[in-house]
Amino acid sequence: MENEVFDLIPRAELRGFINHFKKRIYIFTSIFVFGFIIGYPVSRIIIEWLIESDGFKPDNVEIIILQPMEVILLKLRMSVKIGILFLLSTLILDLSWNGKNIINDAKRNFHHSENLNFGVILISATFSILLAFIGVIYSHEILIPTLLDYLSQDASTAGLSSTWRLQSWIGFITGLYFSSIVGFQIPLLTILLLRSGVIDRAVIFENRRALWFISLLFGAIVSPPDPLSLFLVGGPMLILLELSLIFDRIFFKE
């Protein structure tokens, strides 16, 4: 059956990915669990740092704890996010190593590349860390201060006193850091998918509106429901997607 024009990932390639992930489900699960276990004590350090640091709590805002379990639940949520980051890093490295072989299996082309290209893996890991660092800087310097100040001033303008729950406050901040780290991986993921043959550049252009909608939807989920938050979270992902397509066109001409 021919692939439909607007299928972002053709059926054969999608089946190849599903089969590949099924074979490695125990590895991916173990990586997530490892990140979750590491993340629980790390989350306590992050919470203490956020409470003691300046700039994360506006002057007219009071932070309260409504129940004893609130800190534990917050640490569990943060541990899940850290586990997801470990898993995402593993998926990126796996795609940089096995991307072409996944497609060869899907198309029943048994010409595999057995040589482990450490250069590609090293470059992918370096760019992933660099993009994550840029995402953290963007959240720390622009996204979080802007949104926290906006929410605080919005409540003050309405004559309301700002009282934030500890779980909601820190969950909101760490969620923005998390979304930026994940969102800023888009250029690397896009180039890896294009170079491995999983998706075609023309298909991305044909589905550009759908990708824009997904990016904005992701921004709406992790940010407050207002246009400013939606733009600050989803906007950079749209820009990074376009930049990755330009980069691929310039440096990887067919």
User: What pLDDT shows up at residue 9?
Assistant: 58
Residue 211 has pLDDT above 80, yes or no: no
In a domain, 84, yes or no: yes
Q: Which domain holds residue 67?
A: 11-251
Residue 93 has pLDDT above 70, yes or no: yes
User: What pLDDT shows up at residue 131?
Assistant: 92
Helix, coil or strand: residue 61: strand
Q: For residue 46, give both structure tokens.
A: 């992050």
In a domain, 5, yes or no: no
State the pTM of this model: 0.80
Domain count, the chain: 1
Element (H, E) at 163: strand 162-165
Q: Residue 248: which pLDDT band, with cuts at 50, 70 and 90?
A: confident
User: What pLDDT shows up at residue 133?
Assistant: 94
Q: Are 103 and 16 in contact (CB under 8 A)?
A: yes
User: What percent of the chain lies above the pLDDT cut of 90?
Assistant: 16
In a domain, 6, yes or no: no
User: What pLDDT shows up at residue 254?
Assistant: 53
List, as own/partner pairs, every contact residues 250-254 make where C-beta atoms lie below 8 angstroms and the sequence separation is at least 24, other chains included: 252/191, 252/194, 252/195
User: What pLDDT shows up at residue 86?
Assistant: 94
Q: Which residue bears the tokens 């290209």?
A: 117
In a domain, 227, yes or no: yes
Residue 189 has pLDDT above 80, yes or no: yes
Alpha helices by DSSP H, 184-252: 186-196, 201-206, 208-222, 227-251
Average pLDDT over residues 54-59: 70
